[in-house]
């Protein structure tokens, strides 16, 4: 079995062959699924825990505080302590709630984020599933989480929750369009919806550089719209704590609350991964034409490191937004989308089609 840090294709194929040789086809598939399931579960938990810690540290940094620093060195075990605390908290059943929907909501939110992670390519040959309609699939699945939020808000039988959930619905309904159109613009460049294909098309330069100004505008549109879609500040009206207590998850306690919290961070990770895959070259290293030495050094850094560094950068951008901008009002949010971002993304899509038509991109 060869383990190559630059190309996982042979590695995964070797594991597949090993299992197929030693087991019957059915059990080989089961074993494969178990391995992938355990890996994904561990990865999901790890990323979630790390992002919560990172957010608290970044927030502290922005506000000139220290942040968590008691549990473990630099407080790195703080989120694990929080997790244990939340697991040991009582799950309060609300008296007049719609019990089934109330219990179903965390499942939907988490499953939607799991399904979206399935399609993301982390490195060459390292993805759970490589759909030929990858962009479309991620676009569809990642917006399913809002159903969970709507259910949570409605079933709680709490006025704050209801208003929070409705706002969340309004925002996702609006910003979905800009997200779709900005993703679409890179599909025009790449000519494929397969996520690994889009990454491969960026071997000689990322689309954000290759696509000139329209691609950069599309990137900005995507970041803005997807920040709104993940319900993060300055668009965090669904859980605006100063007016709605905790918004849609007011009535959720203990580990159920933790899942909403986790889903928010995982959605952020998914959005950042999509932004990286589509605009920032995925696992491809930074390359400039004519700088041979620089390119060699950059290509030496493993693709996984590149991928996670870029994801960290995009997530940092989103955290920066949250801790810098004041929260918008609901009518301002809807105006921003329908009167500014949507016309802009329509024009931008036409512009990109024109750029592709005239061959102005590299």
Partner 1 sequence: MSSEALVLFFIVGTVLVGGAILFSWYAAPRSYNPVKFEPYECGIEVNSSAWIQFNVGYYLFAIIYLIFDVETVFIFPWAVVMKEIGMRAFIEILIFFFVLVLGLIYAWKKGALKWV
* Binding residues among 198-227 for partner 1 as defined by CB under 8 A: none
Instruction: Please identify which residue in 19, 28, 31, 36 interacts with partner 1, judged by CB under 8 A.
Output: 36
Under the binding rule (CB under 8 A), the answer on residue 9 touching partner 1 is no
* Site residues (CB under 8 A) for partner 1, limited to 46-105: 87-97, 103
264 vs 244: CA distance, rounded Å: 18
**CB count, 10 Å around CB of 147?**
16
Could you say which residues in the range 230-269 bind partner 1, by CB under 8 A? 245, 250-251, 254-256, 258-259
x-or-dash pattern for partner 1, window 312-341, by CB under 8 A?
Answer: ------------------xx--xx--xx--
Between 129 and 305, name the residue whose CB sits nearer to partner 1.
Answer: 129
Please compute, for residue 362, the number of CA atoms within 13 A of its CA located in the half-sphere on the CB side.
16
Does residue 110 interact with partner 1 by CB under 8 A? yes
User: Measured between alpha carbons, how far is 315 from 232 in angstroms, rounded to an integer?
Assistant: 11
Give the number of residues in contact with partner 1, rule: CB under 8 A. 81
Q: Exposure string (b/e) for 296-326, b if CB count within 10 Å is 16 or more?
A: eeeeeeebbebbbebbbebbeebbebbeeee
Residue written as token pair 């950059």: 298
Q: Transcribe 27-78 into DSSP letters.
A: HHHHHHHHHHHHHHHHHHHHHHHHHHHHHHHHHHHHTT---S-SSSGGGTTH
Give min distance, CB of 229 to partner 1, in A.
Answer: 13
Using CB under 8 A as the binding rule, whether residue 41 contacts partner 1 is answered as yes
In the complex with partner 1, the residue whose CB is nearer, 292 or 331, is: 331
Asked whether position 24 contacts partner 1 by CB under 8 A, the answer is no
Q: By C-beta, is 32 or 298 nearer to partner 1?
A: 32
């Amino acid at each position: 079995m060869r383990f190559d840090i630059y190309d996982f294709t042979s590695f995964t194929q070797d594991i597949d062959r090993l299992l197929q040789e030693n087991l019957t086809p059915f059990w080989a598939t089961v074993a494969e699924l178990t391995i992938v399931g355990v890996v994904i579960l561990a990865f999901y938990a790890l990323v979630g825990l790390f992002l919560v810690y990172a957010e608290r540290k970044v927030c502290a940094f922005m506000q000139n505080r220290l942040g968590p620093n008691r549990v473990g060195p630099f407080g790195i075990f703080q989120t694990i302590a929080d997790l244990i605390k939340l697991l040991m908290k009582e799950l309060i059943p609300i008296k007049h709630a719609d019990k089934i929907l109330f219990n179903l909501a965390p499942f939907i939110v988490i499953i939607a984020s799991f399904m979206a992670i399935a399609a993301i390519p982390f490195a060459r040959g390292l993805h759970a599933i490589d759909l030929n309609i990858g962009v479309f699939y991620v676009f569809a699945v990642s917006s399913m989480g809002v159903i969970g939020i709507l259910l949570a808000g409605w079933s709680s039988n709490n006025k704050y929750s209801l208003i929070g959930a409705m706002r969340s619905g309004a925002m996702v309904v609006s910003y979905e369009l800009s997200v779709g159109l900005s993703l679409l613009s890179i599909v025009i460049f790449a000519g494929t919806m397969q996520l690994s294909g889009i990454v491969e098309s960026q071997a000689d330069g990322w689309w954000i550089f290759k696509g000139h100004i329209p691609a950069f505008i599309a990137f900005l549109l995507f970041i803005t719209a997807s920040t709104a879609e993940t319900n993060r500040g300055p668009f965090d009206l669904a859980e605006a704590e100063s007016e709605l207590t905790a918004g849609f998850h007011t009535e959720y306690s203990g580990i159920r609350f933790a899942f909403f919290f986790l889903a928010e961070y995982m959605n952020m990770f998914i959005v950042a991964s999509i932004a990286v895959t589509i605009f920032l070259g995925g696992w491809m290293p930074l390359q400039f034409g004519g700088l041979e030495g620089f390119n060699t050094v950059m290509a030496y850094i493993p693709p996984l490191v590149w991928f996670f560094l870029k994801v960290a950068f995009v997530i940092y951008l989103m955290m920066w937004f949250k801790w810098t901008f004041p929260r918008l009002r609901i009518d301002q949010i809807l105006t921003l989308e329908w009167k500014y971002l949507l016309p802009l993304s329509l024009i931008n899509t036409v512009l990109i089609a024109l750029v592709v038509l005239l061959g102005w991109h590299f």
